[in-house]
Amino acid sequence: MASITEIAEKFFVACDEEQGWEGCKAYCKPDATFSVQAEPLADIENLEQYTEWMKGLFTILPDLPLASAGGADCTR
């Protein structure tokens, strides 16, 4: 069984590879909520909306790098 960190990493890779909800939904619950204090994302209420927003963002900023990732059992 995969650890929560492994699942999260797969989710973020799918999200960062512009796969949108289709590529990310296997790694989260269908009704997973999302919240953030960033104004551009104020209307985003769930992970499906967030992953589709990210997919659109990469259309505008195709070379946007992933700055960092980590988890409780992550050593990098």
20-66 pLDDT, tens digit per residue, is: 999 999 999 999 999 999 999 999 999 999 999 999 887 777 776 66
Radius of gyration of the chain (CA): 13
What whole-number distance in Å separates Cα of residue 25 and Cα of residue 21? 5
Q: Which amino acid is at 50?
A: Y
What DSSP designation does 41 have?
G
Give the pLDDT score at 66: 63
The pTM (predicted TM-score) of the whole model is 0.76
| Number of Cβ within a 10 Å radius of residue 37 | 6
Give the pLDDT score at 61: 76
What whole-number distance in Å separates Cα of residue 13 and Cα of residue 4? 14
